[in-house]
Each structure stands twice: as C-alpha cells, then as structure tokens.
C-alpha cells in the first residue's frame, strides 16, 4: 500500500474516506480523488517525499506530488490522483518581518499574515478577494492579484526570493542573479546549475518569440512567464536573470515552495471609498478612463446580479462583515431601499484612494466626484469605515455567497477570470452577455471584477447534476475563450490555468510557445513528479470526466 510506504517518511498520512473526499475538491468545478494526503512536519520530510516519488517513477509507478495550502483555488490546481502535500498544518510560520519584507511559509493563512504586518504599519498589496480564506502558498503559486493590483501590481512584483525543493530532493534558495553570481550559477555542476544552463539557453534561443508572446494586458496568469525572467526594464542588455519570475504562478508544477521572501510597503493612514452607481454598462469604460489619471489604489466593480445576491443572502452576508451585524444591517439599508424602489444599478463601481494626509485625501475625493458629474450615475463618497466594509464585503464575498448558499445549484467558475484592454469593454461585455444569455435556461451568472484592469470574474450558477448542462461547459468555455482572444486578452488574469484552462493554452499562445512551456516543465521536472496535468500535458477529456456532480 502506498500509504504504508509513505508512513516510513512521515507519520502524518491520511487515507480515510472523509479526508480524501475533502482534498478531492477545491473551489473549482472538479473532483479528483487522491490516494493519500500527507502533512510534512519539516523540510526533511518534504525532501524525502520528493525522493520517494522519484524512486517510484523510476520503477514505472504513477506517483506524483500535488502541493496544497488553503484549497481555495478555482481552477482545480491543487487536485491530484496521487499524493496531496498539505502545508497548512506545519508550514504555517511567519519566520521574519523586516522593515520592508517578510519571510513566510506557504501554509500561513493570509488573514493571519495581514494582521501581523498591519501591526507594524505594513501592507502586502496584491492580496486577492479571498484574503480571509486563502494562504500564502496559493498566492505565490497562482500569481494572485486583487483590488490593489491596479496601482501596486501582482504577486510577481513582490517575490524577492523562494526556498524551494526541486526534483532532485534538495532545497535551494532562488533569487534574481546578475553578473558574477549568474556566471557562477551557470557554471555550477549541480542539478540547479543544469536547470539554469538549460533555461538560459531556451530563453536565449527563443528570445524574440518569447517577448512577442507576452500578453498585451495589464495582468496575466496563463502559462509559464518566460518573458519575465529578464525584467522588462533590462530586456535590452539582459543583466538580471530572475528565476523566481518563472516559479511564481507555476501552480506547484516545477517544485515545492517551502518559504517566500515577500516585499512589503508602508500602509497609508487614511482611505476613502467613492461608490458609483451606474444604470448602464455603456459609460463604464469612460468612467474608468476618467478615473485612471487620479491613480487610485483600485477600481473594482460588481453587477446587479451580485447586488441582488447580496440582498437575497443578507443574513449570511452580515455574518461575513466585520463589526456588529446590527450596525452593518443599517449601513446596508440604502442599497436595500434602492432595489425595492426599482432603481437597481447595472454596475456598482468602487474607487479606493488613500493617503497619509487626510485633508489631501478629502480634496482628492472631491475632485473625483466632480470629474464624474458629467456621467449619468449616482456617486457617494463613503467616509464611515463600516459602510465602506459593507461594499467591500459584497465584492469580496460574492463567490463565497454563491458557493455556500445556492441550494441545488453550483457556483461554477469556468469562465471566471477574463482580462482584456479596458478600451474594449463597450463591445466586449455585451458580447460576453450575449453568449451567456443564449443559455439562460441552464444558468444564471454574476459579474464582478477589476474594470481598471479590464479584468472580470464571471461566475455562472448551474446544476451540475444535469447532463445537458455539464455538456455545455466546454462549449461555453470555448466560445468565451475565442472572444477573449479576439480582443487580444488573456484567459486568466489571476486565477491561473489548472485543469480548467490548461487545455486552452495552445489557443492563446500557439504551438511553439506551448512547446517551450513543455520544455520548461521537463527541465525542472523530468519525471513529471510535481502536479501533473497543469500548465502542460492537459487533457480536455480528463477535465470533462472529473466534473463534480453538484
């Protein structure tokens, strides 16, 4: 038995039905039953697991390792048929917090991390909307972004170094290298040295096609980020070779991250939320264009269906809000009143600004409000943190509300993370609606997201027990994918590829780039030990066969 053999490495092995069922699912539409769930206690046990998997592979056994932290992934990324390596139980330490950085393990929940760094006046800006649920391992391996990405960038911009166990079962510290350090690494006779040499040659030999393949949108989580290994500002002379840029967003397919050094910034003292209620989607692109010069921290949005959902599940929503539920209910009443009067907006836009100078912040909020006066919208400047929290909770918790409360239906994230240039929104959003509305007898859907980046999260609500509905999922995915690519976008801005989008990477990048992705996987993981079937080697038939049944 596989479990008996693993127990020689670590005693924390579970094969009972309840545990396997729990780890067979994430927040995606898939269910993949593993053989065992392992919670390694230390790095030596992780190394031993990798060596164990390698030996089994050499003997022709189908053994693999799939890393998992909080399990909030929406793409099927942390699902596998062999061994799930669970990090939240023991790899859950914040090792160090410095003046502008932190060293943190993959099993640390972001909510705990946020609390600790906030006590020191620090902020990790690219936290995702699932910040109360997710963990650092998923943030790094998915290249997460969120409401502050518009101003501050994504995870790839904040990883300064990674501790990682590679396919040889040894741990390495990966960081940007230049000059003599890079030359030394390229000459080193070791497993890592060989990775550097092969990767360096792959990029050198294909540099122009790799540069051309970079998606022309503000954020992207599709594929391996070969174009980021040389920082764009230095692309001409290629001074810095940053292998961490390839590991970020790789979904655990290249090795197992055991710690990350993350850059932090100073948290500003004051913030304001400007809420815009628009009865039409038509002015949204021009609103975004008008607001961008003010350099807001975020421009977020959610649609009328999301607001209706919030009202429908108001008791559950109040539990998710911070502070007194009674107080939050009265803060929410204006939105309830709006809906009851029939004045429900088609889109709610949240504009966040911050500053260390409160007077300056008030002036800036006034300027933004004035700039929006020509538009047919209602605008409210929110000064009460509790009221602001009510709007943010609706935005952040919309998927969680669907996931937890929709009886007989399932929140199915299969077209959930589209990104295009914001200038295309007037044509793009109605086209997406037209595709989905063709299937309105089989699904309802909500739209939320980041209009400042042209990034939208579309969550259909479907009955996965219905065979006709299940058959529609690949067809709708292909239609929407083709539309995104028609507008030069990316099929995933933040949520990554996993089981759901890896089969469509060839549509997005073409045969040559996908073949380079396969070479990258082989360079790092020649035996295909780490999280197979994600990023490369995908099978659409496999994905279809592992759809949940509700």
Q: What is the pLDDT of residues 42-79, one digit of tens each?
A: 999 999 999 999 999 999 999 999 999 999 999 999 99
CA terminus-to-terminus distance, the chain: 31
Bridge partners of residue 94, in order along the sequence: 104
Q: Check residue 504 and report its DSSP letter.
A: G
Q: Which residue in the block uniquely carries the two structure tokens 């991250």? A: 257
Query: What sign results for the dihedral spanned by CA atoms 473, 474, 479, 485?
Result: positive
Angstrom distance (rounded) from CA 363 to CA 369: 10
Please give the distance of CA 343 from its chain centroid, rounded to a whole number.
Answer: 33
Please give the distance of CA 181 from its chain centroid, rounded to a whole number.
Answer: 32
- As given in the structure block, the two tokens for residue 476 are 């709708």
Angstrom distance (rounded) from CA 344 to CA 509: 40
Q: Do 276 and 372 form a contact (C-beta atoms < 8 A)?
A: yes
Bridge partners of residue 263, in order along the sequence: 101
Distances (CA, A) of 252 to 261, 421, 424, 462, 532: 17, 29, 33, 29, 9
Half-sphere exposure of 135 (CA within 13 A, CB side): 26
298-303 and 347-355 beta bridge pairing: antiparallel
Angstrom distance (rounded) from CA 135 to CA 105: 9
Task: Collect all residues with Cβ–Cβ distance below 8 Å to 40 and sequence separation of at least 6.
Answer: 10, 12, 46, 49, 85, 87, 90, 91
* Per-residue model confidence as pLDDT tens for the chain (550 residues): 787 889 888 889 999 999 999 999 999 999 999 999 999 999 999 999 999 999 999 999 999 999 999 999 999 999 999 999 999 999 999 999 999 999 999 999 999 999 999 999 999 999 998 899 999 999 999 999 999 999 999 999 999 999 999 999 999 999 999 989 999 999 999 999 999 999 999 999 999 999 999 999 999 999 999 999 976 555 555 579 999 999 999 999 999 999 999 999 999 999 999 999 898 888 988 999 999 999 999 999 888 877 776 666 666 656 655 554 445 444 555 555 555 554 678 888 999 999 999 999 999 999 999 999 999 998 989 888 877 877 887 777 666 666 565 666 788 899 999 999 988 988 898 899 899 999 988 888 888 889 999 999 998 888 899 999 999 999 999 999 999 999 999 999 999 999 999 999 999 999 999 999 999 999 999 999 999 999 999 889 999 999 998 6
Q: Do 389 and 444 form a contact (C-beta atoms < 8 A)?
A: no
**pLDDT tens digits, 191-231:** 999 999 999 999 999 999 999 999 999 999 999 999 999 76
Angstrom distance (rounded) from CA 253 to CA 469: 31
């Amino acid at each position: 038995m596989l479990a008996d053999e693993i127990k020689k490495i670590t005693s924390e092995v579970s094969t009972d039905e309840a545990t396997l069922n729990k780890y067979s699912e994430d927040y995606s539409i898939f269910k993949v039953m593993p053989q065992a769930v392992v919670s390694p206690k230390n790095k030596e046990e992780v190394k031993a697991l990798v060596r164990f998997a390698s030996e089994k592979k050499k003997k022709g056994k189908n053994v693999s390792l799939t890393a998992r932290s909080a399990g909030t992934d929406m793409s099927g990324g942390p699902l596998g048929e062999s061994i799930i390596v669970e990090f939240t139980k023991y790899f859950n330490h914040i090792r160090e917090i410095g003046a502008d950085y932190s060293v943190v393990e993959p099993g640390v929940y972001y909510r705990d991390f946020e609390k600790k760094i906030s006590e020191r006046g620090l902020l990790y800006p690219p936290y995702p909307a699932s910040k109360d649920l997710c963990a650092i391992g998923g943030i790094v391996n998915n290249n997460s972004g969120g409401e502050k990405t518009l101003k501050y960038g994504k995870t790839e911009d904040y990883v300064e170094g990674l501790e990682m166990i590679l396919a040889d079962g040894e741990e390495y510290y990966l960081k940007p290298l230049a000059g003599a350090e890079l030359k030394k690494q390229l000459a080193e006779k070791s497993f890592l040295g060989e990775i550097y040499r092969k990767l360096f040659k792959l990029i050198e030999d294909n540099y122009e096609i790799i540069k051309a393949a970079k998606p022309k949108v503000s954020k992207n989580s599709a594929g391996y980020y070969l174009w980021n290994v040389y920082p764009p500002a230095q692309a001409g002379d290629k001074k810095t070779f940053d292998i961490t840029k390839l590991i970020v967003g790789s979904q655990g397919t290249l090795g197992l991250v055991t710690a990350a050094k993350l850059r932090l910034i100073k948290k500003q003292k004051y913030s304001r939320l400007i809420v815009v209620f628009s009865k039409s989607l038509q002015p949204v692109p021009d609103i975004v264009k008008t607001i961008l010069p003010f350099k807001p921290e975020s421009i977020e949005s959610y649609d009328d269906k999301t607001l209706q959902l919030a009202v429908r599940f108001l008791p559950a929503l109040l539990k998710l809000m911070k502070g007194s539920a009674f107080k939050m209910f009265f803060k929410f009443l204006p939105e309830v009143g709006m809906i009851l009067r029939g004045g429900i907006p088609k889109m709610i836009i949240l504009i966040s600004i911050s500053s260390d100078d409160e007077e300056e912040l008030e002036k800036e909020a006034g300027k933004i409000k004035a700039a929006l006066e020509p538009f047919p919208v209602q605008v409210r400047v929110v000064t009460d943190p509790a009221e602001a929290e009510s709007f943010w909770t609706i935005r952040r918790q919309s998927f969680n509300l669907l996931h937890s409360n929709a009886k007989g239906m399932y929140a199915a994230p299969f077209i959930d993370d589209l990104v295009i240039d914001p200038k295309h929104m007037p044509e793009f959003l109605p086209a997406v609606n037209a595709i989905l509305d063709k299937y309105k007898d089989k699904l309802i859907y909500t739209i939320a997201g980041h209009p400042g980046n042209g990034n939208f999260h579309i969550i259909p609500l479907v009955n996965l027990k219905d065979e006709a509905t299940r058959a529609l999922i690949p067809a709708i995915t292909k239609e929407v994918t083709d539309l995104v690519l028609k507008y030069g976008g990316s099929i995933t801005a933040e949520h990554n590829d996993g089981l759901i989008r890896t089969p469509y990477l060839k549509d997005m990048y073409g045969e040559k780039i996908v073949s380079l992705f396969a070479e990258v996987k082989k360079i790092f993981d020649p035996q295909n030990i780490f999280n197979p079937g994600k990023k490369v080697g995908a099978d659409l038939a496999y994905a279809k066969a592992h759809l949940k049944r509700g």
